[in-house]
């Protein structure tokens, strides 16, 4: 994205910009930067606070125009709640809302003094990186297939901070590129963003950097590998499946790679176990796991991380057709294990199990899959936390910590063996669905059966977090921020 980031330490009344952003507290009123602005304009801001026209409620914005004594023609005051309780969530809400209030123009340059306030448990580097990321996020507009939509004219954002923190802005820009890629791929309609399109986008990433190589496996190559489970899902679609394998050599060849695997169902009708009509269009987002691993991969490449990384996107469309797989079918996975299909709408695990088996040929240091896997995960955790499942406590702790650091949070669910009998089948080694209960967990348990030799494996269910639901819903780009935060720590 073309938002230019910089750092600036200056009196807010003297800055040459189109708008200055400063914080207001609900209890103690003006932040230090807002006080400086208030003094420069003869107390006008304090009077607006007294009259109740300006509020310190978290995320609430007030735009003041042409204040005497202040160089910038606009001052945007943004509420951050009570001064001692500004946590990561309130801070990021204020950071995003302040950009949202200004992104429609005519402003093109903004200075934000928001990063001067104290945030509970977070340091200056955190505030700068995450405020920059929130600004990138808030300034994004989906325009690709909406001819009447305009991209934001914002071009430059300076943040209050010292030059020593310049690296945080570079990191934020690298992460933002990955987040934006994931959002854009998610938002594209399913008649454009099909498996071949995802492969083509991976090709652009590979072409941009000579440490990156790409292999795309087609149906015949997957047949030769015995990927009967993935191919079973794919067989009802006119859009042939692709297994997209991107490889980044950022470290010595003897270092084992981290491998990210993403669910790339470019549209999920449910297949023969067809979904109800209302809301089905949201299933264009069923490739957001794949989009997020491609996004995290792009960020890692752009940041030049000193790691070896492989991103695998399993790109398949799940359609009802005369050639479709059906309930009752028994599929033979690449691992040799057989699977009785009891519901063709539980297709994500069927493509992931073969992608996870394939991934093990790279002898991964860590194997992480990301998937919009279950409605049950949305019931359990809602829209805020990714569902995290792993048998490896150390890896789970690393991912929870990365989620907390990036405020792209995950919450762990158990995948104890006690749940495994729910997948029993008389016709095959396992069924593709559990019972009525614990649907997110039985899906995780299913995947666990295909990663048994792999110590460090984790599964992220992003069904509730990958997009904002409803008619105005857009892809969030999550969990790219979590994944890149974690990858940065692996160097
Ligand atoms: N892609 C869906 C999961 C989903 C549903 C994500 C709603 C986000 C919102 C997945 O393929 C699916 O259909 N899962 C079924 C599994 C069931 C048949 C065991 C589900 O969750 O209902
Ligand atoms: Mn489904
Ligand atoms: Zn699905």
For the chain (491 residues), the mean pLDDT of every run of 10, in chain order, is 91 98 97 98 96 93 97 98 97 98 96 98 98 98 96 97 96 98 98 99 97 98 99 98 99 98 99 98 98 99 98 99 98 99 99 98 98 98 98 98 98 98 98 97 98 95 95 93 98 97
Among the atoms of ligand 1, which is closest to the Cα of residue 347? Answer: 11
What distance in Å separates the CA atoms of residue 95 and residue 79, rounded to the nearest whole number? 10
Ligand 1 neighbourhood includes 155 CB (under 6 angstroms): no
What is the pLDDT, as a whole number, of residue 1?
Answer: 57
CA of residue 287 to ligand 3 center, whole Å: 8
Query: In 284-329, which ranges are E strands?
Result: 308-318
What is the pLDDT, as a whole number, of residue 454?
Answer: 87
Residue 85 DSSP code: G
175-488 shares the fold of 4-158: no
Q: Whose CA is nearest to atom 8 of ligand 1?
A: 463
Ligand 1 neighbourhood includes 378 CB (under 6 angstroms): yes
Show me where the domains of the chain are located: 4-158, 175-488
CA of residue 66 to ligand 1 center, whole Å: 52
CATH number of 175-488: 3.40.630.10
Work out whether strand 457-461 and strand 366-371 pair parallel, antiparallel, or are unpaired. Answer: parallel
Q: Which residues of 239-273 are buried (b: 16+ CB within 10 A; e: fewer)?
A: bbbbbbbbbbbbbeeeeebbbbbbbbbbbbbbbbb
Candidate of 275, 284, 345 to mutate for ligand 1, largest count of ligand atoms within 8 Å of Cβ: 345
Ligand 1 neighbourhood includes 439 CB (under 6 angstroms): yes
| Architecture field, domain 4-158 | 3-Layer(aba) Sandwich (3.40)
What distance in Å separates the CA atoms of residue 214 and residue 323, rounded to the nearest whole number? 30
What distance in Å separates the CA atoms of residue 178 and residue 420, rounded to the nearest whole number? 36
Residue 190 DSSP code: T
What is the pLDDT, as a whole number, of residue 464?
Answer: 98
What is the pLDDT, as a whole number, of residue 155?
Answer: 97
What is the pLDDT, as a whole number, of residue 471?
Answer: 75
Q: Which of 60, 349, 391, 478 is catalytic?
A: 349
Q: What residues does the ion ligand 3 have nearby, CB within 5 Å? A: 265, 268, 286, 348
What distance in Å separates the CA atoms of residue 163 and residue 159, rounded to the nearest whole number? 11
What distance in Å separates the CA atoms of residue 199 and residue 272, rounded to the nearest whole number? 26
Three-point CA angle 217, 223, 224, nearest 5° = 85
What is the pLDDT, as a whole number, of residue 470?
Answer: 79
Q: Whose CA is nearest to atom 16 of ligand 1?
A: 346
The pair phi, psi for residue 327, each rounded to 5°, is -60, 135
Known catalytic membership, residue 472: no
What distance in Å separates the CA atoms of residue 152 and residue 139, rounded to the nearest whole number? 6
What distance in Å separates the CA atoms of residue 369 and residue 348, rounded to the nearest whole number? 11
Q: What residues does the ion ligand 2 have nearby, CB within 5 Å? A: 268, 345, 347
């Amino acid at each position: 994205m073309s938002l230019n980031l910089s750092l600036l330490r200056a009196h807010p009344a003297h800055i040459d910009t189109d708008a200055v952003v400063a914080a207001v507290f609900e209890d103690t009123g003006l932040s230090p930067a807002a006080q400086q602005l208030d003094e420069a304009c003869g107390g006008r801001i304090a009077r607006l606070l007294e009259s109740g026209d300006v509020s310190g409620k978290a995320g609430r914005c007030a735009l003041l125009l042409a204040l005497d004594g202040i160089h910038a023609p606009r001052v945007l005051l943004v509420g951050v709640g009570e001064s001692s309780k500004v946590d990561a969530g309130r801070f990021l809400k204020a950071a995003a809302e302040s950009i949202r209030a200004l992104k429609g123009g005519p402003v093109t340059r903004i200075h934000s003094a928001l990063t001067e306030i104290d945030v509970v448990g977070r340091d200056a580097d955190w505030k700068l990186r995450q405020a920059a990321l929130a600004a990138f996020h808030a300034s994004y507009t989906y325009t690709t297939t909406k001819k009447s939509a305009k991209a934001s004219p914002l071009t430059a954002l300076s943040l209050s901070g010292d030059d020593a923190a310049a690296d945080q802005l570079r990191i934020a820009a690298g992460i933002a590129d990955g987040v934006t890629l994931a959002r854009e791929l998610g938002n594209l309609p399913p008649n454009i963003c099909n498996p071949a399109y995802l492969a083509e986008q991976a090709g652009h990433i590979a072409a941009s950097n000579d440490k990156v190589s790409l292999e795309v496996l087609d149906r015949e190559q997957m047949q030769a590998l015995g990927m009967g489970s993935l191919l079973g899902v794919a067989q009802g679609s006119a859009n042939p499946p692709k297994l997209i394998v991107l490889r980044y050599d950022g470290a010595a060849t003897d270092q084992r790679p981290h491998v990210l695997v993403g669910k790339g169902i470019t549209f999920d009708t449910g297949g023969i176990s067809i979904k109800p009509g209302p809301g089905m269009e949201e299933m264009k987002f069923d490739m957001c796991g794949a989009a997020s691993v491609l996004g995290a991969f792009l960020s890692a490449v752009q940041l030049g991380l000193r790691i070896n990384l492989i991103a695998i996107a399993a790109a398949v469309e799940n359609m009802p057709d005369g050639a479709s797989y059906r309930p009752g079918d028994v599929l033979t996975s690449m691992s040799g294990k057989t699977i009785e299909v009891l519901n063709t709408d539980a297709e994500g695990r069927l493509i992931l199990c073969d992608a996870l088996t394939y991934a093990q040929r790279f002898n991964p240091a860590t194997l992480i899959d990301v998937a919009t896997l279950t409605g049950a995960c949305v019931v359990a955790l809602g829209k805020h936390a990714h569902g995290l499942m792993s048998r490896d406590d150390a890896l789970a702790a690393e991912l929870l910590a990365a989620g907390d650091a990036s405020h792209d949070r995950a919450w762990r669910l158990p995948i104890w063996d006690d749940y495994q009998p729910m997948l029993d089948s008389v016709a095959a080694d396992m069924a593709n669905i559990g019972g009525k209960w614990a649907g997110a967990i039985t899906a995780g348990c299913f995947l666990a059966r295909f990663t048994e030799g792999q110590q460090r494996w984790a599964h992220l269910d992003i069904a509730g977090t990958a997009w904002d639901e409803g008619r105005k819903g857009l892809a969030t780009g999550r969990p790219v921020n979590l994944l890149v935060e974690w990858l940065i720590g692996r160097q």
